[in-house]
Chain A
Amino acid sequence: SAVISQKPSRDICQRGTSLTIQCQVDSQVTMMFWYRQQPGQSLTLIATANQGSEATYESGFVIDKFPISRPNLTFSTLTVSNMSPEDSSIYLCSVEAKQREGYFGPGTRLTVL
């Protein structure tokens, strides 16, 4: 299984600011995914990030709000831009293992005031 780390683990931010979340994997992976988990809710896919190509966003998520970088096969960043209290969530990165199971990072708990 892949070991995934995320930074920061949590943050409290002011409305209108931006936060960049980092995701580091201990092995090379083709596909990385970013999910959002709003308080008390399930996980919703934000985008799929493949190395060397533009991220693919799900309906309801746009690049201007959630820009993603994928500079190599072990690293990705998600930025939450111009934050509002509605962006308060846990943000998780995930990678796909050989048997299609997803392994998840520990998450970044974001609170926007």
Chain B
Amino acid sequence: AQKVTQAQTEISVVEKEDVTLDCVYETRDTTYYLFWYKQPPSGELVFLIRRNSFDEQNEISGRYSWNFQKSTSSFNFTITASQVVDSAVYFCALSDTGRRALTFGSGTRLQVQP
């Protein structure tokens, strides 16, 4: 069975601080896919990144970076120099060969104060 755990319910930072959102996953498959989504107050879900289980290379995109570690079953997301526009709920999600649909974590609400 799949499971995604986001232990941080809510995080509050001041603008320009760095913040890391944690994600721990469980799956029995050796082939799986991990995702991060952003849900701003407007409600739409914005796809941020996809990683497959064979690609442990970390990725950086502007102020965003992702750290995938199979040894600890974690896929953490770091925002560098946070901005007010980063305020949103962030979801980590998982799919594998047995389940094409996404299994979502409970989400982390990030508040960036000016």
Please give the residue numbers on chain B whose beta carbons come within 8 Å of chain A beta carbons, in ascending order. Answer: 33, 35, 43-45, 47, 50, 52, 91, 93, 95, 100-107
Chain B residues within 8 Å of A45, by CB: 101-103
Contact A42 B43 (CB under 8 A): no
- Which chain B residue lies CB-closest to A1? B47
Query: How many residues on chain A are close to B (CB under 8 Å)?
Result: 22
Residues of chain A with a CB closer than 8 A to B105's CB: 42
Is A13 located at the chain interface by the 8 A CB criterion?
Answer: no
Q: Tell me whether A100 and B33 are in contact (CB under 8 A).
A: yes
| Set B43, B44, B52, B101: member contacting A48, Cβ < 8 A | B101
B44 proximity list for chain A (CB < 8 A): 104, 106-107
Chain B residue at smallest Cβ distance from A30: B100
Q: Say whether A109 faces chain B, with CB atoms less than 8 Å apart.
A: yes
Question: Could you give 14 example pairs across A and B, Cβ below 8 Å?
Answer: A1-B47, A42-B91, A42-B107, A43-B45, A45-B102, A45-B103, A100-B33, A101-B50, A102-B47, A102-B93, A102-B102, A106-B43, A106-B44, A107-B44
- Shortest distance from the beta carbon of B37 to any chain A beta carbon, whole Å: 8
A43–B50 contact, CB under 8 A?
Answer: no
Q: Could you tell me if B107 and A103 are in contact, using CB atoms closer than 8 angstroms? A: no
B35/A43 in contact, CB under 8 A: no
Q: Is the CB of B101 within 8 A of A42?
A: no
Q: What A residues does B43 contact at CB under 8 A?
A: 90, 106-107, 109
